[in-house]
Structure 1
Amino acid sequence: MSRYGIWAAALLCAAVGPVWAQPASLSAQDYARAEKVLDYNLKGQLKNAEIVPHWLADGRLWYRRDGEHGAQYMLVDPAARSREPLFDPARMREAIRAVLPAAAERVPEPLSVAVEAGVLRARFAGDATQQLSCDVVAHQCRAIAANTPDPLWLPSPDGRRAVFVRDYNLWLRDLDSGRERALTQDGEAYYGYGVLPDLALHAVPSRQGRWKVPPFAVNWSPDGKRLFGSRFDERKVQPYPMLAMAPERGHRPELYNIRLSLFGDAEQTRAEWFSVDVDGAGAGKVQRIVAPEGWSPVIEADIFGWSADNRRVYASIANYSRPARMRLVELDLDTGRSREVLEEQSATRVQVNDFLYNRAAVRVLNRSHQVVWFSERDGWGHLYLHDLRDGRPIRRLTSGEWLVRDLIGVDETRRVAYFTAGGREAGDPYLRRLYRVSLDGGDPVLLTPEVADHALEVGASAILGGDGIDLLSPSGDYVIDNFSTLDTAPRTVLRSTRDGAIVLELERADTSKVIAAGWRAPQRIKLKAADGRTDLYATVYFPPGYSAKTAQPGQYPVIDAFYGGPQVTNAPVGMAEAVSATNPISRSSLAALGFVVVTIDGRGTPGRSQAFHDASFGAFADPQIDDHVAAIGELARRYPGLDLQRVGVYGHSFGGYSSARAILRRPEFYKVAVSSAGSHNYQGMYSSLNGMERLLAGRVDYGNGRTVRPTPEAIPENYRGLDNATLAQNLRGKLMLVYGDLDENALPAVTAQLSEALIRNNKDFDLLYLPNQNHELFRNDAYYTRRMWDYFVEHLMGAKPPVGYKLAPPPKRGGGGY
C-alpha cells in the first residue's frame, strides 16, 4: 500500500470511530442495576465490617454487631479466649419490662457496661426520671435515678457532672441534684466559650438549629477539677453572605451573614486557650492563655495530654510562614504561661500526622517525662522520642524509606509503642501493617503478617470532631485488628501484642447483600507517573463482563474519579472503602453503566515520602493531572478495549477543582468533566486557622512579603497560577459545574467566578444550581447523581440516558463521614 493509501486508511478509521458499536441508549433497567451498587445504597450492607471495642477494667470487652434480626451485643474474655452474647435479648427484654412496662420491644444499646460489686451490669435508658441497671448474667433489673447527661453536654470523667453552653458561657450541672452554676461570665457572640465557631464551616445549619454539638474544643482534666479549651475570637472578621434563594419557608431569599475570613483579609479569626477551675478555693477562676504573636493552636491536634498533677497541658502551635514551624508547648494552667518543648521546621508542610484527618501520632508519657513525636525531618514520617522537660532528642524509634501512619497506643509500663505503617514490607505501600517498637531502642517487630490492609482506626482528628478509639486492651496484652483486601471480606480479630498471633476471631464480614446487589471488586494496579520513574497505585473498577481477551478496540470509555487533595488518599485498598467510598462516590455505579473507572493517588497526595507529598505544594493539582494522564495512557496500553479518545473526569470539593482543572489544562486528553463544589480559586476561599494556605502554597504573598490584600481585586502571587479561571480559554470539551447555594466548604461564589470567566471567553458549559444544598450534595442528592450519570452517558459514551429515571434518595441511616 502506498503512503497515501496508509494515510487514507487512517483517516477513514478516525472518521468512522471505534470498531465497537456503542449502545444507542441505556434503559431504565441499566440505571436500576447501577443504582443497586451506588455507595449510599451499599452503606451498612457489608455486615460486621468493623467493631468498636468497649474495654472493661478487668480486661474483657463488649461490642455491638449486626445480627440477623437487629443489633446484638457480644462479650469477649481474652484470657479465656471466649466470645459469647453479653445477654439473652428475650430474657433481658422481659427483665426490663418487669420494671418498666412501657419499655420498647427491642432492648436498647447499653449506655455503659461495668463490673459493680463483682457483678457485670449494663445500664439502659429508661424514661425521663429513671434508668435501668441490669445484671447481664441473672437478667434482673432495678430502677435507678436517671442522670444521663443531655447529648449536648460534656460529662465529667466520673459521670457525676456535666458542662454545657448557655448564652456563650460554660455552665456546670450536678447530674444527681440538678443544680446548675455558671463557670464563665464574659462570653459573647463570636467570642464564646465552647461555642462552635463559624470557621468550623457549619454556621448555616447552626443558625437554622439543625447542627448542635456539645461544648466545642473543651476538655475535662483527668481528675475532673478543671476545664481546658480553645476560644475563638471572630468579632472583627468580616461577615460573609450566604444566600438561600429558595428558602424552605416563604419566598424572600434568606441571608445568612457568617463570619468567614478570606485570603488576605486584615482581620482573621484569633484563637486562644482558657482554663477554668471547677472546684476548690479557686472555683470559677478563668485563666486566659495566649500563644506567642504570629502563632496559633493547631486545630487538628487538639491536646496531647495532661501532666500527672493535672496542672499542665501539652498542645501544639504553628506558624505557617516560611519556613513553616510547629512547636510542642507546655501550658501552665495556674499562671497562663507557655513553655516551648521542641520545634519542627519545614520548607513546605509541617504536620503531626501525614494524613490531616487522622489523629496526631503523638503521645505524652507522664511516667518517664517523655513524648513520642511524629516528624518528617528526614524526608519520611517517623516516630522520635524526646525528653518532655527540655525537648532533648533521646532516640529515633523508627527509620527507613517507609511511613508511620497512626500511633495506635503506648504501653508505658512495658515501654512499647504500637503503630501502623505503610511501605516497610514489600508490595503495595498503601497497605497498612501493625508494628511494635521498644521505646528503649531496637527494630520494629511486625505483628500482622497477612498481606492486607490492616485498618486499625483510632478515630478522626480534632478538625473533624472525632473521639478516640482504644484498640489496645488496658493491660496492653491484646489489640483489635481489622483487615481486608479489595476482594477479601474484612476480618476483625483479637491479636496478641506479644507475637501477633490471632487469639480469637471476632467477626468476618458478611458480603452476601453486597454481592447480591451486583457489586464487583475493583482491581489494584501499579502504574508509572509522568516522570516515567515513580510508581503510582490505582484502583480500577471494570464494567461487568470485561475481559482482556475479548475486549474490542474503543469499547470502553474511561472516567477518572479524581480528588487529589493533599490531606487524604482516595484509591481504596480495602473492601469496606471500595464498597462505599468516602469521595468521590458512584465508581461502582459508573462501571455498571459501561465505563472503566479509575482512581489514582498521584504525586502530591500523602501516604508516601515527604518529597512525593510535596509535589503538590505550590503546584497543587497540576503534577497530579499529568500523572493521571500518563497512568491512564499506560493502563490503556496494558488493558485492551479502553478508549483514550473518550476520557472523562469528575470530582467533588478538591476533586471539583481538580476535575475542572483537568479538562481546562489537558483538553486534548479529557473530553468531559463534571465538577461539583470545586474550590476553583483561592483568593475567594477561606483563610485563617482552618485555611488552605498551609496545605497548598504557604502564607499568601502580595509582593514584598505583604500578607494583607492591598486592593480588593488583588490576588496573591503564589496563588495566581492556581486560579482555574486563568485556563478558561482552553475549554474544548463538555463541562458541567455543580454547586449548592449553602455550601460553606467550597463557597458558591468561586463557582460563579469561574462561570464568569468561561462566559467572558465565550465558552459553552453547563451549570447545575442546587437550592438549599451544602457540601454534602455529592453523597445526599440523588438528582445530582442522576444528572452526573446522564452527562457521562450522553457526552462520553455517546448514548441516550433513560428518560425520566429518578434515583431513590439515600436511606436514612446514622453515620456519615468527612
Structure 2
Amino acid sequence: MKRWAICIAAICAAMSAAGQAQPLALSAADYARAERVLDYNLKGRIKNATDAPQWLADGRFWYRRDGERGAEYVLIDPARAERRPLFDSARLSQAMRAALPQATAAPELLALQVDGEALRARLRGAGARELDCDLQTYRCQAVTATAAADPGWLLSPDGSRAAFVRENNLWLRDLRSGAESALTSDGEDHYGYGVQPDFAMRGVPRRQGRGQTRPYAVSWSPDGRHLFGLRFDERKVLPYPFVALAPQHGFRPVAYELRLTLPGDREPARDEWFAVDVEAGGARRIAISDGWNAMREAGVLGWSRDNGRVYAAIANDGRPTRARMIEIGLRDGAVREVFEEQSDTRVQVNDFLTRPAAVRVLAASDEAVWYSERDGWGHLYLYDLRDGRLIRRLTGGEWAVREIIGVDEPRRRVYFTAGGREPGDPYQRRLYRVSLDGGDPVLLTSEQADHDINDAGGGFARSGAADPLSPSRDYVVDSYSTLDQPPRSVLRSTQDGAVIAELERADVSAVTAAGWLPPQRLKFTGADGRTEVFATVYFPPDYAPERAKPGQYPIIDAIYGGPQVTNAPVAYVEATAAINPISRSSLARLGFVVITIDARGTPGRSRAFHDVSYGLNHDTQIDDHVAAIEQLAARYPGLDLQRVGIYGHSFGGYSSTRAILRRPEFYKVAVSSAGNQNFQGMYSGGVLGLDRLLTGPLDYGNGERLRPAPDAVPAVYRAFDNASLADRLQGKLLLVYGDLDENAYPAVTVQLTSALIRANKDFDLLYLPNQDHELFRNDPYYTRRMWDYFVEHLMGARPPANYRLQPPKQLSTSGF
C-alpha cells in the first residue's frame, strides 16, 4: 500500500513538473503587459461609468459626461423623458469669446440655475473673470470670479461663512467681507477644536505641514446658527514615535512623536461633544457618559425640526456591547437617551464600517429609522424619538440591508439597497422602497447586477456624493453592472422602477485595449461543508480548460480578510481598479490564477457569518480559503495545488502571514505588506472603536482591563499573535513595511521579525523609507518586488532584471 502511495505521489509530482509550461524566464515585455492592466493605470480610464446628477429647482437635472473631445453636459427632463445637450458648445464658445476674448477654452460649467423660462450658467472664464451666460439667448457677460474655497474651510449651509481651525481653536470667516473672528479660545495642543487627532492616522503629515483638513468631526446645524462637534483629549496619552531613518532633507533621522493609545493603556484618548453658538461665540462642553464613547462612524445622525437638538450615537464595548441613540440640546447641553441596542458581539450602524450609517432622523414626524442585526440579519426599524418606543419593524428576512439611499417623508417611504433578497449573488445590491407605515419592500431594480446607488450623505467612502434621488423623490439615478457587463446608467421611476431614460453606457475601450479581461464570479462551500462562500477569480489570458496541462498554473490567493469590508469584486469598475487587493489582473497576465474570497468573518451576509471573526477568530476564514481553492482546482483543469501563494496588505498583511504560518502545507509563498502582525501593539481604546468591532472588552485576567505589566497580553490577543506561530514557517515569506505607516505600525512587523529570528527561520524583509500605508497602491518598487517574488519562488521562473514600473499619475491618499 505504501509503495503504491509513493508511486502515485511521484507520478503526480512528475505530471506537475511536466505541466509547468511557464517559461524559465519572463521578459520585460511580459512585465509591460502586466503593467498596462495594473490598477492605478486603469483607474479613471472607463468613461461615463457613473453620473452625478445636479438637480434644478424645476425638477430637471444636468450632469457632466466624458465626450470624445472633453467634457460635455447633458440636461434631463424626467417629466418629459427627454435627454438633450445642455447647450450648443460651438455657439456658447462664440458667445463666451464675445464677452471675454481671453476665454479660449471649451465651456466648463461651474453652476447652473433656473431663471424664469431660461437657464443661466456660470462658466470658467480667464484669470479673475468668470462668465454668466443665458443658455436661451446665448448672451454672456464677464463677471468677477467667485473666490475659490480654501480646503481648510467648512462652509455654512448658505455658503456665506466658513469655519476653520487656527492654533487649536475654531474661527469664523465672513466670505463677503473677509472679516474673521474667534469662536473658541481655550483649545490647546492635543485638546483642540476641529483638530484632527493623532489616532486619525494623519499625524505625521500634519506635523510635516501637509494634509490641511477642514475642521475634523464638526458639523453646521442646518440653519447655520450652531456648530456641533467632537473634541478629543490626547494630552495624557503616551507618545508613540515614528522615525524617518532616511529623511528627504538631511541625514539626521527625524522622529515624529504622536499620541497613540495601545491596548491596556491607563490614559487612553477621550472624547466629548461641544456646541458653539456662532453669533455669540464660545463653546459649550457636553460630556459623554463614563464608559461610553461617540460612534465616530455614525457621525451626526440628524437634527430636530427647530435645529436646536442634534442626534448622535454612543457605544459601550462591555458585555453586552451597547449602543444608544442620543438627543443633545445645543442651547442647554442637555443629553437624553432615546433608546438602546444590545448585542453579545458587535453593534453597528451599518454592516460595512466604511459606509454611512443606515440610520435616518425624520424631523417632521419625530421618528428615526434605525439599523440593527438583532434578529441575525441587518434590517431597518422605526422608532419614536419622543419616548424611544419601537413603532414597527420595516424590513425582515434572510437578507441584508446595505444602505439607506433616502427618505420621502411626505409619502412616508424609505429607499434602500440590499443584498440577498433576490435569487443570485447575495453581494449584488438592488434598490427597494418600503413604507414607514408597514408592508413588504418593493423591488425597483429587476436587473440581476450590482446597482451602485450611493447615499449622498457622505461617509468614509463617498463623502459629498451627488444625491441620486430627485428632490421630489419621484426619480432615481441608477448605475448597474456585473463583472463582464460594463456600467449602464438609467433614470428610474421610484414608483415601480420603470426606466424613464437611458443616460449612459460606459465606454470601456481604454481598459480592454490595455488587455484587461473580466474575472469570473464563482461560488464554493466553506470549510464547514455547509456555508456558501463567494469568490472572484482572475485567469491568465491564455487559460482554456480544454488545453490546460496538469499543474500548469500556480495559484495566488489575494486576501484582505478584515471584518469591515468585502474584497471580491461584483461590479465592473471595482474589478478593473480596486483599493485592496491590487495587482490581481497584472498577476494573472504574468501567468497566475488569482482568487479573492469573501469568507466567513466578513460583512454583507448574516450576522452569524460576520460574527465568525468576532474575538479575532481569523483561522476559520483561512480554512475557508483553503477549501475554496481546493474546489477551484478540482473544477478547473491545470491549476497546481502544490504551488499556492498568498499576498495581502494591511489586515491582508496579517492574513497572508497567518495563512503561511498556520497552513504551511498549503501556502508555499507569501508577500505580506503593512500587516498588523499582532494586536497588542496596535491602536486601541473606546474612542477609536476597534475593540468594539474586533473583540469586545479586553481582559488581562480577573476582569482587569488595564495592562498590569509592559509585556502583558490579553488572552484574546495572545492566540492570534502571528509571532506565536513563527516556528511553523516553512515556505518563502516577504515582509514589507514603510517607516511612517500610521495604519499598521512598523513596530509590529519588526516584532514579528524578532520572533522569526528567535525561531531561526529564513525570511525576507523589505523596508521602504518615508512610505506610509499607501505603499501598496503608490510604490512601484514594492509592486515590482512583489511580482518578482511570486515569479521566482512560486512560478519557478526568472523575472526580468530591474524592470522599472512607472509610478501612478495620481497618488492614493486614503485606503485600507
Partner of 2:247: 247
Partner of 1:307: 304
Moved more, 204-213 or 5-14: 5-14
Distance 1:148 1:33, change over 3 A: closer
> Do residues 639 (structure 1) and 619 (structure 2) align?
no
Q: Provide the secondary structure at the position in 2 that maps to 1:420.
A: strand
Deviation at 1:469, TM superposition (A): 3.7
State the superposition RMSD in angstroms: 1.9
Q: 1-side partners of 2:596 and 2:759: how far apart?
A: 31
> Do residues 596 (structure 1) and 593 (structure 2) align?
yes
Partner of 1:653: 650
- Is the contact made by 1:149 and 1:175 (CA closer than 8 Å) also made in structure 2? no
Distance 1:184 1:559, change over 3 A: same
One-letter identity of the residue aligned with 1:32: A
Partner of 1:34: 34
Residue pairs, 1:30-429, within 5 angstroms: 30-103=30-103, 105-110=105-110, 112-116=111-115, 119-124=118-123, 131-139=130-138, 140-144=140-144, 146-279=146-279, 283-429=280-426
Q: 2-side partners of 1:475 and 1:563: how far apart?
A: 41
Partner of 1:782: 780
Partner of 1:497: 494
Aligned with residue 534 of structure 1, among 524, 531, 535: 531
Deviation at 1:817, TM superposition (A): 5.0
One-letter identity of the residue aligned with 1:296: N
> Do residues 810 (structure 1) and 808 (structure 2) align?
yes
Unaligned runs of 5+ in 2: none
One-letter identity of the residue aligned with 2:188: E
Partner of 1:722: 720
Partner of 1:732: 730
Q: Provide the secondary structure at the position in 1 that maps to 2:541.
A: coil
Q: Provide the secondary structure at the position in 2 that maps to 1:796.
A: helix
Distance 1:116 1:26, change over 3 A: same
Report sequence identity in percent.
64
Q: 1-side partners of 2:308 and 2:366: how far apart?
A: 15
Q: Per-residue displacement from partner, 1:523-569 (whole Å, max 9, x unpaired)?
A: 11110000000001010111112111121110110000000000000
- Is the contact made by 2:151 and 2:212 (CA closer than 8 Å) also made in structure 1? no
Q: Per-residue displacement from partner, 1:21-44 (whole Å, max 9, x unpaired)?
A: 432111111111111111111111
Q: 1-side partners of 2:73 and 2:466: how far apart?
A: 18
- What is the TM-score of this pair, normalised by structure 2? 0.97
- Is the contact made by 1:447 and 1:500 (CA closer than 8 Å) also made in structure 2? yes
Q: 2-side partners of 1:780 and 1:405: how far apart?
A: 30
Q: 2-side partners of 1:365 and 1:133: how far apart?
A: 38
Q: 2-side partners of 1:234 and 1:224: how far apart?
A: 29
Partner of 1:453: 450
Aligned with residue 571 of structure 1, among 545, 568, 576: 568
Deviation at 1:148, TM superposition (A): 4.5
Distance 1:430 1:550, change over 3 A: same
Deviation at 1:240, TM superposition (A): 0.9
> Do residues 510 (structure 1) and 504 (structure 2) align?
no
Q: Provide the secondary structure at the position in 2 that maps to 1:625.
A: helix
Deviation at 1:229, TM superposition (A): 1.2
One-letter identity of the residue aligned with 2:19: W
Q: 2-side partners of 1:558 and 1:576: how far apart?
A: 24
One-letter identity of the residue aligned with 1:73: Y
One-letter identity of the residue aligned with 2:810: K
One-letter identity of the residue aligned with 1:758: L
Q: 2-side partners of 1:467 and 1:309: how far apart?
A: 24
One-letter identity of the residue aligned with 2:152: L
Q: Provide the secondary structure at the position in 1 that maps to 2:540.
A: coil
- What is the TM-score of this pair, normalised by structure 1? 0.96
> Do residues 679 (structure 1) and 676 (structure 2) align?
yes
Distance 1:678 1:295, change over 3 A: same
Q: Provide the secondary structure at the position in 1 that maps to 2:724.
A: helix
Q: 2-side partners of 1:98 and 1:285: how far apart?
A: 51
Deviation at 1:457, TM superposition (A): 1.9
Q: Provide the secondary structure at the position in 2 that maps to 1:64.
A: strand
Q: 2-side partners of 1:339 and 1:7: how far apart?
A: 73
Q: Provide the secondary structure at the position in 1 that maps to 2:535.
A: strand
Q: 2-side partners of 1:778 and 1:155: how far apart?
A: 34
> Do residues 706 (structure 1) and 712 (structure 2) align?
no
- Is the contact made by 1:60 and 1:75 (CA closer than 8 Å) also made in structure 2? yes
- Is the contact made by 2:355 and 2:460 (CA closer than 8 Å) also made in structure 1? no
Residue pairs, 1:593-632, within 5 angstroms: 593-632=590-629
- Is the contact made by 1:357 and 1:461 (CA closer than 8 Å) also made in structure 2? no
Deviation at 1:7, TM superposition (A): 3.6
Q: 1-side partners of 2:242 and 2:662: how far apart?
A: 30
Q: 1-side partners of 2:86 and 2:748: how far apart?
A: 53
Q: Per-residue displacement from partner, 1:437-482 (whole Å, max 9, x unpaired)?
A: 1110110011101011111122586456823541110001000111
- Is the contact made by 1:341 and 1:388 (CA closer than 8 Å) also made in structure 2? yes
Count residues in correspondence.
813
Residue pairs, 1:793-804, within 5 angstroms: 793-804=791-802
One-letter identity of the residue aligned with 1:787: R
Partner of 1:764: 762
Distance 1:16 1:478, change over 3 A: closer
Distance 1:353 1:5, change over 3 A: closer
Q: Per-residue displacement from partner, 1:662-711 (whole Å, max 9, x unpaired)?
A: 00000000000000000000111011222521222112211111111111
Distance 1:100 1:750, change over 3 A: farther
One-letter identity of the residue aligned with 2:132: S
Unaligned runs of 5+ in 1: none
Q: 2-side partners of 1:460 and 1:670: how far apart?
A: 42
Distance 1:666 1:21, change over 3 A: closer
One-letter identity of the residue aligned with 2:743: N
Distance 1:367 1:3, change over 3 A: closer
Deviation at 1:83, TM superposition (A): 2.0
Deviation at 1:132, TM superposition (A): 3.7
Q: Provide the secondary structure at the position in 1 that maps to 2:716.
A: coil
Q: 1-side partners of 2:96 and 2:118: how far apart?
A: 17
Partner of 2:740: 742
Q: 2-side partners of 1:99 and 1:300: how far apart?
A: 49
Deviation at 1:804, TM superposition (A): 2.0
- Is the contact made by 1:221 and 1:306 (CA closer than 8 Å) also made in structure 2? yes
> Do residues 430 (structure 1) and 427 (structure 2) align?
yes
Q: 1-side partners of 2:121 and 2:543: how far apart?
A: 52
Q: 2-side partners of 1:468 and 1:707: how far apart?
A: 41
Q: Provide the secondary structure at the position in 2 that maps to 1:240.
A: strand
Q: Provide the secondary structure at the position in 1 that maps to 2:696.
A: coil
Q: 2-side partners of 1:666 and 1:799: how far apart?
A: 24
